[in-house]
Structure 1
Amino acid sequence: MGNPNAPIKLVEYGARSCPTCGAFAREAFKPLTDNYVSTGKVSFEFRDFLVHGAPDVALTLLGQCGGTAPFFPILEQMYQNQNAFLDKLQTMPPAMQQSLANLAPTAVATKLAEHMGAIDFVKQRGIPEAKARACLADQKQLEIMAKPTENAMQSGTVTGTPTFLLNGKKMENVLSWSEMEKALKAAGA
């Protein structure tokens, strides 16, 4: 998001079902985009990091389903709605949980997306149900989507979410907007 040639590059490795990522996004998205990205000083890249398993897979497949234009709006809205998704996961009956054990990852993602209401969520944001279901069933996309997580884990750069890189350097203990804004200002934003 933003000017690809911006002097300050911020990368976030985040998980769509990570409560800390959600809290950060709800606090930081608007000031980050309004005060830094829109000015051309900062570019922001979000990389899905599938650390929380199947719920992240389901939400990420749907979040990436619309392509580049709706990516950030859907991401922000998923974080706004995150508690509702997670609350629905908590209500999953044990029998349903057990039934997922023998399914392929894409089938698990579809069942979880249905249970969380995530298919209806993206339908309300312009992604037709047939397309959403096709995205959830796309094994090749799942493999592509998992690569950044694998690469980051193998390199040791990312061990949890959220993890932020500022101009390629890992930021330690940045979990709030006030800490992030201090770092951006220190970098010249």
Structure 2
Amino acid sequence: MKRIALLAGALALMTGCGGSNDAPSAPAGSVKAAAAPAGQDWTQTVSPTPEGGYVMGNPNAAIKLVEYGSRLCPTCGAFANTGMRPLIENYVKPGKVSYEFREFLVHGAPDFPPALLGRCGGAQPFFPLLEEMFAAQPTVLPKMEDAGAFQQAQQGKAPGQIFTAWAEKLGFIDFVKQRGIPEAQARACLTDEKQIEALTKYMDAGTEKGVQGTPTFFLNGNKLDNVVTWDGVEGALKNAGA
């Protein structure tokens, strides 16, 4: 739990987000659409991954997009608000692209509550909650203005207590209650030591892969340097043949 305590005290607030937007070049191709299971579309195919993310779409898609993101990162929010719908409608639903989101907690303690609560309901609500948390940033982020003083007041508390306090401050317990996760379940998720430890390890693994800020995208295992917007990501998808 020592590593968790260090993360809980970290407040690199908003500095890990963003970057420039130079889409990489890649050979053009033509990936064919693939039919989803009968009576479904590929957005209903969602599962956890060994790397700690959740993936949506055709598991055999020729193009695999992975995002390392923070639910409190404004640049991630801008990507979600402009790109999530076209990504799903134009690339995931046809079965050409699978999309995986992995938590990368660049802001330390404040990032844990939305990440823990976003995973609290399991696979099916994961992406709807993710999209709605990004859409809610304009009401959530102003509550971070006194983050340093608030975090200082949490010193000496257990990680679960700290994350619960942040969840209450940022309004995330009520947020998930309104979306079908009971309060008792939400509070249990915020203090789940196994999940807290797992998120810490997943972030360490991302750092080892070269992730330094959010959002960071990988396409078929290759890092998309300096690509942080939907235009950049879509350009890379098209270059890959989507």
Residue identity opposite 1:101 in structure 2: Q
- Equivalent positions of 1:169-184 (< 5 A) are 169-184=222-237
Aligned counterparts of 2:102 and 2:165: Cα–Cα separation in 1: 24
Aligned counterparts of 1:104 and 1:150: Cα–Cα separation in 2: 21
1:89 aligns with 2:147: no
- SS in structure 2 of the partner of residue 160 of structure 1: coil
- TM-score by length of structure 2 reads 0.75
Alignment match of 1:20 (pick from 56, 75, 88): 75
- Equivalent positions of 1:142-161 (< 5 A) are 142-153=196-207, 155-161=208-214
| Equivalent residue number for residue 4 of structure 1 | 59
**Contact 1:113–1:119 (CA under 8 A) maintained in structure 2:** yes
Q: Deviations over 1:67-101 (max 9, x none)?
A: 0010000000000001211112225694x443211
| Equivalent residue number for residue 45 of structure 2 | none
Task: Provide closer, same or farther for how the CA distance between residues 31 and 99 of structure 1 changes in structure 2, counting only shifts above 3 A.
Answer: same
Q: Deviations over 1:122-178 (max 9, x none)?
A: 00110000000000011111001221111121x242111110000000001112111
- TM-score by length of structure 1 reads 0.95
1:39 aligns with 2:100: no
Runs of 4+ residues over 6 Å off in structure 1: none
- Which consecutive residues of structure 1, in runs of 5 or more, have no partner in the other structure? none
- Which consecutive residues of structure 2, in runs of 5 or more, have no partner in the other structure? 1-55
Aligned counterparts of 1:74 and 1:156: Cα–Cα separation in 2: 26
1:109 aligns with 2:160: no
- SS in structure 1 of the partner of residue 156 of structure 2: coil
**Contact 1:24–1:177 (CA under 8 A) maintained in structure 2:** yes
Let me know the Cα RMSD of the aligned residues. 1.3
1:167 aligns with 2:220: yes
Alignment match of 2:115 (pick from 60, 66, 69): 60
Bigger-Rg structure (1/2): 2
Q: Deviations over 1:48-80 (max 9, x none)?
A: 011110111111011110100100000000000
Aligned counterparts of 1:37 and 1:67: Cα–Cα separation in 2: 20
> How many residues align structurally?
187
Aligned counterparts of 1:37 and 1:93: Cα–Cα separation in 2: 40
